[in-house]
Copies of this chain bind each other. A is one copy, B any other.
């Protein structure tokens, strides 16, 4: 990576100097979060004039709503948007030296920002020389605590280099103000006024405290933010509504430690006391150093647990670790929140949760932190009732239809062809439930939550499709959009039909199991959901008769029934500046042509690999490789995985390399709006499912390891049914060992081997 913005380092992302053009994208790169609270990597001071900065502090699950405006509305169009809220800003410090505002200028030198992935701490240092000749060194650290989800801690040190310099530091908690941005790019937040409203704010004496309570306009949510300080060598005075100013002279090192706490809740009965108490307690009983030490321990454990390393390619290793770090940071873990398309790093896609969770992020969690995977599925259970209501709105008497995009559970897609029509979200969730149970044997989850979700999603498919006399009585699912949004509202999308079948079969299997193992629970569930035995038979019939377009002569599965019937649009003939197509062609023009944003047939071949022969995989990979633009960042990882499987190792590596550093190198040009979480997880999948060839069909874990050219070795841990298995691949072959858990038989390149317990 010659053109990398950041020096290659296995653990650190370091910005040397300051390039205002990278400001907004680096705010995403340097974001800190803990699954609940997220800080974009904004500078402590105001962004330099003329630069583009996107301030952001987020609480997972805190959003505001507004009616979706349609030029022409129709029945059951999604009614309301949900947009992640910008909560109070606490990460700022305003510094004056000899009365001068310390900000980027010729007086500011030696600027270095560094995110240490190994510790989860962001540091920043620079020097500043005042007109009077005073010279100071500024060191700032910032962390968003993984041990206490409500807390962030910062430390500012100002040291005199030459001459004593009068210094003033202002530190507060502020309500952010956003201008309403408008754009035709559907991937960025839409132009709604989503500023929160100030409920109350003020300062309190102990530990120079201040607080702010903000409320959303419509969604009935409130967020309190409080700050306290520990200050060395400076005098404090309250400033304005909710800030303090600390004055000192650099003849002595000035230290300001700042503890910020956030609590969210329903606006009615919302009490900010707990928030203030906790901020006080932090300053009373802890110091920045204690929080930093906790954070380091946490991350050491995390990295030990995932056990991932690559020898021989530090650039890729850096990219992969960066991605894993951000995935962990952005994922909600409380069973009531999830992971947004951009995580907690930006407000792109309005902060919505998509299928990205189940198909990309969840496998990473499942293999490295299964308890987080469970929390993600519990979120889906928490919105099951809303999905039942949505199914009714869409004309189904029974079943549940999960929202294509949402935060709180209500369907928020304002363009149904690439939203509501993506019924596959139901099957994606069902697939994730089945995977989770297969990898964890968590029958308690399955009994109490999973089966009900499988049942209600299976019902939806049966109601949606029909036995089509025009197709010899085959079960057809028409007028849906698969994952590939460049072929919208199609008939018999293979991905959808296969996944729907899997959904119905999982439901049948799980219900049968439940009936056998816990007849009482089975009866209770049947009664709760008013399920009849006939329905189960119906799903079986539909699965059996599922229509899957296929051309035996070429072994090609048309992505959907009409895919081969579209007007050719050779990708090589499209001018380079016309990508992504969605920003340069009317949807009708795109839909009319034989072109994919991401090839969902290729994805089906990865997720449901045992349905296809190796030869089919080869033929279809090459076929779709030629017609896919990869305008979605979800695309290339999937191509890489299948390329690995069919032995196209160079292709696999090339596609992998596009994904590995996508946000570090901002290759998609929109990192400013937030990091691409699904792609980040995809990178990890390329390693585990691609290079190492991990699959799990039935109950058998299998591998087909391959070492990319130029690498010495790679290794990673993965969880499987209570075990942690260490996978190690180098030029001499592969090794499997157990970090914990019982011995297990696995397949490696088709041969059975036993991985022995260490105990």
Which of A's residues lie within 8 Å of B, judged by CB? Answer: 68-78, 81, 184, 186, 190, 393-395, 413-421, 465-466, 468, 470-471, 476, 478-480, 489, 491, 562, 564-568, 582-589, 591-592
The 4 residue pairs across chains A and B that have the minimum distance between CB atoms: A71-B414, A76-B586, A68-B71, A72-B415
The contact of A71 among B69, B76, B184, B417, by CB within 8 Å, is B69
> Who on chain B is nearest to A405 by CB?
B72
- Interchain nearest-CB distance for A692 vs B (Å): 39
> Who on chain B is nearest to A413 by CB?
B72
B residues in contact with A471, CB < 8 Å = 565
B residues in contact with A413, CB < 8 Å = 72
Cβ contact within 8 Å between B69 and A69: yes
Cβ contact within 8 Å between B74 and A586: yes
B residues in contact with A564, CB < 8 Å = 470
B residues in contact with A588, CB < 8 Å = 394, 416, 420-421, 479-480, 489
- Interchain nearest-CB distance for A400 vs B (Å): 16
- Interchain nearest-CB distance for A759 vs B (Å): 55
Cβ contact within 8 Å between B393 and A71: no
Cβ contact within 8 Å between B71 and A583: no
> How far apart sit A415 and B414, CA to CA, in the bound complex (Å)?
12
> Who on chain B is nearest to A76 by CB?
B586
- Interchain nearest-CB distance for A413 vs B (Å): 7
Cβ contact within 8 Å between A586 and B77: yes
Known: A394-B589, A416-B588, A479-B592. A582 touches B470 (CB 8 A): no
The contact of A74 among B71, B186, B466, by CB within 8 Å, is B186
Cβ contact within 8 Å between A73 and B394: no
Known: A476-B565, A479-B592, A568-B466. A71 touches B190 (CB 8 A): yes
Cβ contact within 8 Å between B81 and A71: yes
Which of A465, A582, A583, A592 is most buried by chain B, counting CB atoms within 10 A of its CB? Answer: A592
> Who on chain B is nearest to A395 by CB?
B589
- Copies assembled: 2
B residues in contact with A470, CB < 8 Å = 564-565
Chosen A-B contacts, 27 in total, with CB atoms closer than 8 Å, are A68-B71, A69-B69, A70-B70, A70-B71, A71-B414, A71-B415, A72-B190, A72-B415, A74-B184, A74-B415, A74-B587, A75-B587, A76-B586, A77-B586, A395-B586, A416-B587, A420-B586, A420-B588, A466-B568, A470-B564, A476-B565, A478-B566, A478-B567, A479-B588, A479-B592, A480-B588, A491-B562
> How far apart sit A489 and B478, CA to CA, in the bound complex (Å)?
13
> How far apart sit A190 and B421, CA to CA, in the bound complex (Å)?
25
The contact of A186 among B69, B73, B465, by CB within 8 Å, is B73
Known: A70-B414, A414-B70, A562-B491. A75 touches B585 (CB 8 A): yes
> Who on chain B is nearest to A81 by CB?
B71
The contact of A184 among B73, B479, B585, by CB within 8 Å, is B73
> How far apart sit A394 and B73, CA to CA, in the bound complex (Å)?
23
B residues in contact with A562, CB < 8 Å = 491, 562
Known: A414-B70, A565-B476. A75 touches B586 (CB 8 A): yes
Cβ contact within 8 Å between B591 and A489: yes
Apart from A73-B184, A75-B583, A76-B589: 16 A-B pairs, beta carbons within 8 A: A69-B71, A71-B81, A72-B415, A72-B419, A74-B582, A74-B586, A74-B587, A75-B582, A76-B585, A394-B586, A416-B586, A417-B417, A420-B586, A421-B588, A468-B565, A479-B592
B residues in contact with A71, CB < 8 Å = 68-70, 78, 81, 190, 414-415
> Who on chain B is nearest to A479 by CB?
B592
B residues in contact with A465, CB < 8 Å = 567
B residues in contact with A591, CB < 8 Å = 479, 489
> Who on chain B is nearest to A74 by CB?
B587
> How far apart sit A186 and B75, CA to CA, in the bound complex (Å)?
10
> How far apart sit A564 and B476, CA to CA, in the bound complex (Å)?
13
> How far apart sit A643 and B472, CA to CA, in the bound complex (Å)?
33
> How far apart sit A424 and B293, CA to CA, in the bound complex (Å)?
70
Cβ contact within 8 Å between B491 and A565: yes
- Interchain nearest-CB distance for A588 vs B (Å): 6
> Who on chain B is nearest to A78 by CB?
B71
Cβ contact within 8 Å between B70 and A69: yes
> How far apart sit A71 and B186, CA to CA, in the bound complex (Å)?
9
Known: A562-B491, A588-B394. A72 touches B479 (CB 8 A): no
- Interchain nearest-CB distance for A486 vs B (Å): 12
> Who on chain B is nearest to A192 by CB?
B71
B residues in contact with A489, CB < 8 Å = 489, 588, 591
B residues in contact with A476, CB < 8 Å = 565, 567
B residues in contact with A394, CB < 8 Å = 586, 588-589
> Who on chain B is nearest to A80 by CB?
B71
> How far apart sit A75 and B582, CA to CA, in the bound complex (Å)?
7
- Interchain nearest-CB distance for A626 vs B (Å): 16
> How far apart sit A420 and B471, CA to CA, in the bound complex (Å)?
31
Which of A75, A78, A393, A568 is most buried by chain B, counting CB atoms within 10 A of its CB? Answer: A75
> How far apart sit A562 and B468, CA to CA, in the bound complex (Å)?
12
> How far apart sit A582 and B76, CA to CA, in the bound complex (Å)?
10
B residues in contact with A583, CB < 8 Å = 75
> How far apart sit A214 and B190, CA to CA, in the bound complex (Å)?
34
- Interchain nearest-CB distance for A165 vs B (Å): 52
- Interchain nearest-CB distance for A549 vs B (Å): 12
B residues in contact with A567, CB < 8 Å = 465-466, 468, 476, 478
> Who on chain B is nearest to A468 by CB?
B565
Cβ contact within 8 Å between B75 and A184: yes
B residues in contact with A568, CB < 8 Å = 466
> Who on chain B is nearest to A412 by CB?
B71
> Who on chain B is nearest to A480 by CB?
B588
B residues in contact with A190, CB < 8 Å = 71-72
> Who on chain B is nearest to A191 by CB?
B69
Known: A415-B74, A562-B491, A567-B466. A586 touches B186 (CB 8 A): no
Cβ contact within 8 Å between A414 and B479: no
- Interchain nearest-CB distance for A556 vs B (Å): 12
B residues in contact with A418, CB < 8 Å = 72
- Interchain nearest-CB distance for A112 vs B (Å): 41
B residues in contact with A184, CB < 8 Å = 73-75, 77
- Interchain nearest-CB distance for A289 vs B (Å): 47
> Who on chain B is nearest to A70 by CB?
B71
B residues in contact with A420, CB < 8 Å = 586, 588
- Interchain nearest-CB distance for A126 vs B (Å): 41
> How far apart sit A589 and B69, CA to CA, in the bound complex (Å)?
21
